Amino acid sequence: MKLGALEVWPPVVLAPMAGITNAPFRTLCREQGGGLFVCEMITTRALVERNAKTLKMIRFAPQEKPRSIQLYGVDPVTVGRAVRMIADEDLADHVDLNFGCPVPKVTRRGGGSALPYKRNLLRAILREAVRNAGTLPVTMKMRKGIDDDHLTYLDAGRIAVEEGVSAIALHGRTAIQHYGGTADWSAIARLKEAVPEIPVLGNGDIWSASDAMRMIAETGCDGVVVGRGCLGRPWLFADLAAACEGRDDRARPTLGEVAATMDRHATLLAEAFGNEQHAVADFRKHVGWYLKGFVVGADLRRNLATSSTLAGLREGLAELDAAQPWPDGADTPRGKTNPRDRVHLPTGWLDDPYEMAVPCADAETDTSGG
């Protein structure tokens, strides 16, 4: 798969996930197989203002190549400045733009998955991004639309091609679906037909390598983006690489091997954060995902998920039954699975899809991805 001048093989992308796809997690996934491994979403305004926390979030480990940054922005000028900063200062090798976030505090201000409804604003953002990117490929990630009555993905796809975007990732859900129901892969097939000029990456509900192969076969997409399926399972990238090369071997780590990965993950977080307590607290959300499907007593699970030091975590990990084999049926949904009953939008947002509205300045404050 080619994203501009960037050759990506296997055609597999670790989905940007706020609070998850930091350098430690990307490193664990990348060690398993090739592809693209996208950082957590970064707001363009915070980046151009050189916010200290944001600059820390775009640090890559030395072996991370190519480096992918996902930007979230609503103002064409600020997005352009952020992309130019990335290109001029060699901060990444690829820029992805987030138009899929369904979080109410984002859509309420016209950002994320609400934005493609305003076709001209979307066009202006993509134009500024591509114009300022130099040789860096710019890709976009989006949902099908706001809801079934306000689908935007086909228009957005054509606009992206016209503005020189290098590839499009489509999550086959609308904003109102949030993470509920099942992703509509037929929309990925329709987008592929609508934008034959550039690669289309399919996203949504890939829980195993065979799901990825099925998505490619059913939709004709050029590559896949995998999010929740790799939570607690970085070795899914080994399976994806094997499947893309036509091999049947699949990673089936024992509980002891999983425990070693958990230890390494928490250790890498501690190094990256420079703060053991913060790292161990952040690691808590991963514990249940790593242990999913294994037989582990409730007390031990609780101890692992509440440890406050690396030593405490390691004590718990040492109590796990290291020989326990990989559980059958562990390829099941994990992470967020809830739908929403409405999408919060700015007043009058749906009145005119061609109005050139730039959402209010606070649309970028305190955002988290999705």
Ligand X SMILES: Cc1cc2nc3c(=O)[nH]c(=O)nc-3n(C[C@H](O)[C@H](O)[C@H](O)COP(=O)(O)O)c2cc1C
What residues line the site for ligand X (CB under 6 A)? 15-20, 40-41, 70, 98, 100-101, 141, 171, 203-206, 226-229, 335-336, 369-370
Nearer to ligand X, 67 or 259 (CB): 67
Q: Pick the closest to residue 362 from 18, 43, 119 (CA basis).
A: 43
Residue 95, beta-bridge partner list: 69, 138
Q: Catalytic residue positions?
A: 101
Residue with the shortest CB distance to ligand X: 369
Distance, CA of 357 to CA of 41 (rounded, Å): 23
| Tally of residues, the chain | 370
Distance, CA of 50 to CA of 48 (rounded, Å): 5
End-to-end CA distance of the chain, in Å?
25
Q: How far is CA 211 from the centre of its chain?
A: 17
Give the containing element (helix H, strand E) for 53. helix 52-57
Q: Pick the closest to residue 46 from 38, 37, 64, 58 (CA basis).
A: 58
Query: Could you give the C-alpha distances from 315 to 289, 311, 318, 319, 367, in angstroms and in order?
Result: 19, 6, 5, 7, 36
* Minimum CB–partner distance for residue 231 and ligand X (Å): 7
Distance, CA of 306 to CA of 192 (rounded, Å): 45
Nearer to ligand X, 15 or 200 (CB): 15
Nearer to ligand X, 276 or 364 (CB): 364
Say if residues 71 and 98 touch (Cβ distance below 8 Å).
yes
Nearer to ligand X, 40 or 75 (CB): 40
Nearer to ligand X, 94 or 171 (CB): 171
Give the containing element (helix H, strand E) for 97. strand 94-99
Q: Pick the closest to residue 173 from 155, 190, 148 (CA basis).
A: 148
